[in-house]
Amino acid sequence: MLTLALPKGRLAEESIELMLERGWLSGRPDPDSKELIYKDPKGKVRILLVRSQDVATYVEQNSADAGIVGWDVLLEGGYDLLLPLDLSIGKCRLSVAGPKGWSLSSGERKVRVATKYPNIAKDFFLKKGINCEVIKLYGSIELAPLVGLSDCIVDLVSTGGTLRANNLEEIEIIMESTARLVFNRSALYTKRVEVGEFLESFALTEKQL
C-alpha cells in the first residue's frame, strides 16, 4: 500500500479525481469527515490530508511515500525529492500584486513585500536590482498593503477575484505553477513494485526517474 500526502482543498479534489480515473481509489473520502487519514477499501493507497506547505515535508521525512504538491511550494522549500511528473492540475501563477497605480519602479528605496514565499520573493527582487524587506505572513496576504504593512505582495493568483475585491492588481508574473507528483528516495526501493504501478498508471515508468 502506498501512503500519499495530499494538500487539503481544491488540489486534493483534483488529485482524487485523477486517482479515481486511474483505478487507485474506489470512491471519494467522505467530505464531511474530520478524519485526516483515509484508507481506501481497495487497499492500494492510504491518503494523508495535510496543509499544502506540509506535503513535501511529510514525503521527504518518509511519513508518506509520495505526495502531490504545487511547483511553487517545491521551489520555495528546496526539498530533496524525486519529481517524476507534472500532473497539469492546480494551475495558478505566483505574482507580484499591489494597490492600483503602484509599480515596481514607484521609487521606494526599499520595497516592503508581504508573502508566504520569502525565498522566491527575495530572489525575484534581487534579480530586478530592487532592495526589499520581506514580511512573512501565513494568510490574508492581500490585507497587508491595505493597512500599510507592505507596499506589495507576492502570492498565488488563480482568477484574480480576491485581488480585485480588495482594490489590488497583478503587476508581474513571477512563475507559473502546477501540481507535481513527488516521491522520496526510500519509497523507490522499499516499495518499488507499488511505485512502478503507480507511475505506469500515469503513463510514466520508473525507468524515467
Q: Which three cell numbers stand for residue 106?
A: 514607484
DSSP string, 149-179: S-SEEEEEESSSHHHHHTTEEEEEEEEEE-E
What confidence tier does 106 reach under pLDDT thresholds 50, 70, 90?
A: low
Name the DSSP class of 28: P
In CATH, 2-91+177-204 is 3.40.50.150: no
Q: What gap in Å lies between CA 123 and CA 136, rounded to an integer? A: 15
What confidence tier does 107 reach under pLDDT thresholds 50, 70, 90?
A: low
Average pLDDT over residues 131-141: 93
Q: What gap in Å lies between CA 170 and CA 99, rounded to an integer? A: 9
Residue ranges, comma separated, of all CATH 3.40.190.10 domains in the chain are 2-91+177-204, 92-175
pLDDT score, position 118: 96
108 burial type by CB count under 10 A (0-12 exposed, 13-18 middle, 19+ buried): middle
In CATH, 92-175 is 3.40.190.10: yes
What confidence tier does 143 reach under pLDDT thresholds 50, 70, 90?
A: very high
Residue environment code for 25-34, b if the CB has 16+ CB neighbours within 10 A, otherwise e: beeebeeeee
Average pLDDT over residues 68-76: 94
Give CA separation, 153 vs 55, 168, 180, 187, in Å. 24, 10, 25, 37
Per-chain mean pLDDT for the chain: 89
